[in-house]
Structure 1
Amino acid sequence: MSAPSFLVSGNASIDEYYLVDRIPAADEAQEAKDFFAKLGGAATNVAVALSRLKARVTFAGVVGSDEYGDLIVRYLSEEGVATHCVVRSSKPTGKVVVILDNAGRRAMVAVRGANTDLKPGFIDVDALFKGVSHAHLSSTKPDYTRWVLAEAKKRGLSTSYDPGMAIASRGLEYIRDVLGLVDVLFVNAREYDALGGEALEKEYCGLLVVKEGEHGSRIPRLGLQVPAFRVSTVDTTGAGDSFNAAFLIAWKLGLPYEKCLAIANAAGAIKSTKLGAQSSPTLSELNSFLESRGHEPLVF
């Protein structure tokens, strides 16, 4: 079976990490033990995670005409992600400051920068979908999400969307018009509650996947829940994005939902043992982990 092919679109940014003993409260100061910068943004996380699992991936987004923009394009290319749909802006590349404590907890502040140019029509629409069979969006606003997914549906593509907390916090009404275009909707437990919980289940007719961290993941409509794998957590940043990537590949391969959830749980667990949002597992790492826990590997 050939590898699935994906278009992934959304924010592209650089994550600046500050490692501290504990996250400071208001009016407190903490001295950072270390600092490093890595590629971030939920959509780029998913794109890299898909590529590491041997999927074919095109990323569509906007970066600045600056050093960080160059770094993002170079890094995506090195990870095997096609970047011909990355547009340059006069605005600075987006940035996220991540404060990470000893227990793997985090606080984040985002500056969107060039990502504000990610709007309907930002690129020739036909270029977006060349050679892909599935479109995934992460943390994108409804107007852009609607444009991309409607065009994807016109071309017969399957679709998925992870709105993220910034979008979900605005409530179900904010994304209602998008839901009919989404085949797979990913939310975490907080986002599920923010979108109305059972109200979301009644409103949305597609495949709703709820990520619950240490409690695993579930598909509410099917009454299906799969427990998490126990690991030593270092950094949960991007774990949900690794989950999304693994689930989508398994789903596109037609695997049973329970296996899709287990494989996705494994990918998220592996990522959480490593620093950085881009430290998602390779296919060999994922399969070694699955087999060590008594599960079948992901094969295609």
Structure 2
Amino acid sequence: MNAPLRILTAGRIYCDLVFTRLDDVPAAGREVFAEGLALRAGGGAYITAAYLSALGHETTLIGTLPAAPFDSVVRAEMASNRVGALCDTAPAGTDPQITAALVHGDERAFVTRRPGAALSLGGPLPAARHLHLGEITTARDHPELIREARAMGMTVSLDCSWDGRSLTEPGLSEIIDEVDLFFPNEAEARELTRNGITMSPRVATIVKQGPEGAEIRPVDAARYHRPAQKADLVDTTGAGDAFNAGFLGAWLEGKPMPECLDLAIACGAFAVGQIGGAGKLPRLDYLLTERQKMEL
């Protein structure tokens, strides 16, 4: 790998309560039981930062930590994954920003409490090579982030992160047009198309297709597709954000698009074998080499 890059990620930070091995699919009026429960730091911006750090890069997370007592869970995990923090803490009395993730086989459901603003940045962005935004709502609510990053010479990426209301808002095409890389999954890409949201030919759109792999619908009119990697499925929470980290790590090092997809898919495959978005990650910069060996 080349010298570590400094990468900023910004977005909502959650504490995830991950219930695994449910005895049935949750339904109204019926109680189900889970055999496993884990508390993990969550939110796309954090998970992508954690995986980029595991790939050897210097990362700084910008956002608001969930209210106590969940902030301590997030701080501890951030420190264990060497993720720098440019974070404020939710004011006293604020509802905690948490997500309950319910995992039953390869199915999952989420219930999220999302109080207040995603972040409150009191000063300028620190110098960095790249800014990654963890969800469209953060880009919409804080347009100054992209403007400032561009003025400082950074490249910018954006994850879609499903939010039914935000995917229908006017001005969404203009937000996407401001970034270099856009990361929807297949369902999100279809919903955007159904809502008449057009993708700029200038923006490389990387579509995450789960068991079908991933595809780039890029600026140069050439499509690239790579198949999924076999993996033992434990929990898909955060796999798309891990995918983003793999792609960004390779792309920022100037790797060809197919190699960017390879590392992205390898990171996603690693993620689905873990409980929660990240947890304590080992060094992962071996993953691209392992992926290449599998194809020989």
- TM-score past 0.5 threshold: yes
Q: TM-score with structure 1 length normalisation?
A: 0.88
Asked if structure 2 preserves the Cα contact closer than 8 Å seen for 1:62 and 1:86, the reply is: yes
1:189 to 183, 186, 189: 186
Letter in 2 for 1:188: N
Matched, 1:289 2:290: yes
Matched, 1:71 2:73: yes
Q: CA deviation at 1:252?
A: 0.4
CA distance in 2, matches of 1:263, 1:99: 28
Map 1:138-177 → 2, pairs under 5 A: 138-141=134-137, 142-166=139-163, 170-171=167-168, 173-177=170-174
Letter in 1 for 2:87: V
User: Which residue does the alignment assign to 1:123?
Assistant: 121
Change (3 A) 1:245 1:149: same
Matched, 1:207 2:199: no
Question: In the comparison of the two structures, how many residue pairs are matched?
Answer: 287
CA distance in 2, matches of 1:14, 1:137: 18
User: Which residue does the alignment assign to 1:86?
Assistant: 87
Map 1:225-244 → 2, pairs under 5 A: 225-244=225-244
Map 1:218-257 → 2, pairs under 5 A: 218-221=215-218, 222-257=222-257
Provide the secondary structure at the position in 1 that maps to 2:167: coil
Mean CA deviation greater in 250-259 or 67-76: 67-76
User: Which residue does the alignment assign to 1:29?
Assistant: 31
Asked if structure 1 preserves the Cα contact closer than 8 Å seen for 2:67 and 2:97, the reply is: no
Deviations 1:158-213 (A, max 9, x none): 00000211168623735222123201000100110111179656545211111101
Change (3 A) 1:200 1:170: closer
Change (3 A) 1:172 1:118: closer
Asked if structure 2 preserves the Cα contact closer than 8 Å seen for 1:209 and 1:219, the reply is: yes
Deviations 1:42-86 (A, max 9, x none): 111111111111111000000245121122123212211111x10
Map 1:40-59 → 2, pairs under 5 A: 40-59=42-61
Asked if structure 2 preserves the Cα contact closer than 8 Å seen for 1:172 and 1:196, the reply is: no
Matched, 1:100 2:103: yes
Structure that is richer in helix per residue: 1
Mean CA deviation greater in 21-30 or 178-187: 21-30
Provide the secondary structure at the position in 1 that maps to 2:121: coil
Q: TM-score with structure 2 length normalisation?
A: 0.89
CA distance in 2, matches of 1:70, 1:275: 19
RMSD: 2.2
CA distance in 2, matches of 1:213, 1:228: 7
Asked if structure 2 preserves the Cα contact closer than 8 Å seen for 1:8 and 1:47, the reply is: yes
User: Which residue does the alignment assign to 1:112?
Assistant: 114
CA distance in 2, matches of 1:212, 1:260: 15
Matched, 1:134 2:130: yes
Identify unmatched segments of 5+ residues in structure 1. 296-300
Asked if structure 1 preserves the Cα contact closer than 8 Å seen for 2:127 and 2:152, the reply is: no
Q: CA deviation at 1:29?
A: 1.8
CA distance in 1, matches of 2:231, 2:257: 23
Change (3 A) 1:285 1:271: farther
Q: CA deviation at 1:92?
A: 3.6
Q: CA deviation at 1:292?
A: 4.3
Letter in 1 for 2:103: L
Provide the secondary structure at the position in 1 that maps to 2:37: strand
